[in-house]
Amino acid sequence: MSTLAAPAIRTLTVELGERSYPIHVGPDLLGNPAHLRPYLAGSQVMIVTNEAVAPLYLDALKRGLGEDLTVRQVILPDGEQTKTLASVERIWDALLEAGFNRRCTLIALGGGVIGDMTGYAAACYQRGVAFIQAPTTLLAQVDSSVGGKTGVNHPRGKNMIGAFWQPRAVLVDTATLKSLPPRELSAGLAEVIKYGLIRDIEFLGWLEANVSALRELDDALLIDAILRSCATKAAIVAEDETEQAVRALLNLGHTFGHAIEAHQGYGVWLHGEAVASGMAMAAALSQRLGWLSGDDVARSEALLRAAGLPTAAPAAMSADDFIARMRLDKKNLDARIRLVLLSALGQACIHDRLPPDELRAFIESYPRA
């Protein structure tokens, strides 16, 4: 499983016409000017990061930028509870204080929270400036790197305020995973597994074979898993950039998962943990509808558990707690709750005709932690 030489940097292009951009994946990318400088819009750069990431990678990133630029930084607190409009205002204040113009570039150095907020700040600063993603968590590397979704949470719901805004480039430095707590690596694997479940049965088999080595940070396998995940997401996003149809399949596990996150309080369960539990719920509900076999469900759950993820729902969460939160989901149109389920293993579908009583009965019967 291990490799002898350091794996080479590999690149995937996200095809979005004039908004196409590259995702570079490999070890030790951050300090390398060749992967940073071509994507700057001008000489003004604002790095946005958090208190956990800054001590680890901020200096390397600055070295990679070089000394002839005007570089400023905003260091926010760590965690999902930071993902607010007030934090984005801090970024805007810093940009204006520095006198940065429309040709500035924002760089998001951190996990998904930093990426989503920085992207949103870039989308709306002077009605839109350039930004680069440098995701340092596996979750952000395989999820927020592709798709252009940016935004912040509102007390009444996750990601309720935001914009679609594409980065100029994404730099996935796999060396950053070495500093990631194992629990967060597992949370990232939830999204990796999701791509297998929704439309890549072959990848699902590959993950079953390699999940332990991935948890042990085998660089070459990580690069494979990240590129395969990003490629699947990129294909779906290219078909449906603004989520009118097929893109909604990427939300497998997220309707239940967002309800769990919101009910527990953001940050108590990690996003990936809530999604893992939500995917297990979606698989079980798909079985109840006759679409998956008991073996399919057992296979899904075994892989999630092998990745170090939960499959049960939170102990303290009632069916009413779930349903109240699910009604607020952005995917819903009119009064119906839209669910992403599995019509087969490796094939997701939308279902918005489930009678409310059946949904409630299913949630009541589902195992709790």
List of residues contacting a copy of itself (CB under 8 A): 42-43, 85, 89, 92-93, 96-97, 99, 101-103, 120, 123-128, 149-151, 154, 156-157, 159-164, 242, 327-328, 330, 332-334
Query: Is 97 labelled as part of a ligand binding site?
Result: no
Does the annotation place 178 within a ligand binding site? Answer: no
How does strand 169-173 pair with strand 339-344? unpaired
Does an H or E element contain 211, and which?
Answer: helix 201-215
Looking at the Cβ atoms of 315 and 333, the one nearer to a copy of itself is 333
Burial label for 349, CB within 10 Å (0-12, 13-18, 19+), is middle
Q: How far is the CB of 301 from a copy of itself (least distance, A)?
A: 32
Two structure tokens written together for 287: 């079985």
Catalytic residues: 127, 149, 191, 233, 243, 247, 251, 254, 258, 271
The residue (of 26 and 147) whose beta carbon lies closer to a copy of itself is 147
Tell me the sheet residues that pair with 349: 341
Residue 113 marked as a ligand binder: yes
Name the minimum Å distance from CB 93 to a copy of itself.
8
166 annotated to a ligand binding site: no
- DSSP code of 316? T
Q: Which is nearer to a copy of itself, 155 or 294 (CB)?
A: 155
When the beta carbons of 2 and 156 are compared against a copy of itself, the nearer one is 156
User: 201-215 and 294-306 helices cross at what angle (nearest 10)?
Assistant: 30
Nearest CA among 172, 38, 59 for reference residue 115? 172
Check whether 116 is labelled as a binding-site residue: yes
Of 144, 122, 117, the residue nearest 23 (C-alpha)? 144
Structure tokens at 198: 């929704």
User: Nearest approach, Cβ of 40 to a copy of itself (angstroms)?
Assistant: 13
Residue 208 CA to residue 306 CA, distance in Å, equals 8
Asked if residue 79 belongs to a known ligand binding site, the reply is: yes
User: Which helix (H) or strand (E) covers residue 342, if one does?
Assistant: strand 339-344
To a copy of itself, the closest distance from the beta carbon of 322 in angstroms equals 17
Closer of 89 and 364 to a copy of itself (Cβ): 89
**Cα gap 319→328, rounded to integer Å:** 15
Report the alpha-carbon distance of residue 362 to residue 158 in Å, rounded. Answer: 24
Of 203 and 322, which CB lies nearer to a copy of itself in the complex structure? Answer: 322
- Cα separation, 25 vs 143, whole angstroms: 14
Tokens 């948890």, residue?
215
Q: Parallel, antiparallel, or unpaired for β 44-50 and 105-110?
A: parallel
CB 108 within 8 A of CB 115: yes
The rounded distance, in Å, linking the Cα atoms of 131 and 166 is: 8
In angstroms, give the least distance from the CB of 151 to a copy of itself: 6
> How far apart are CB 313 and a copy of itself at their closest, in Å?
24
The answer to whether 83 is a known ligand-binding residue is: yes
Q: Is 114 annotated as a binding residue?
A: yes
Give binding residues for Zn(2+) as ranges: 191, 254, 271
Binding site for NAD(+): residue ranges? Answer: 78-83, 112-116, 136-137, 149, 158
Question: Binding site: which residues?
Answer: 78-83, 112-116, 136-137, 149, 158, 191, 254, 271
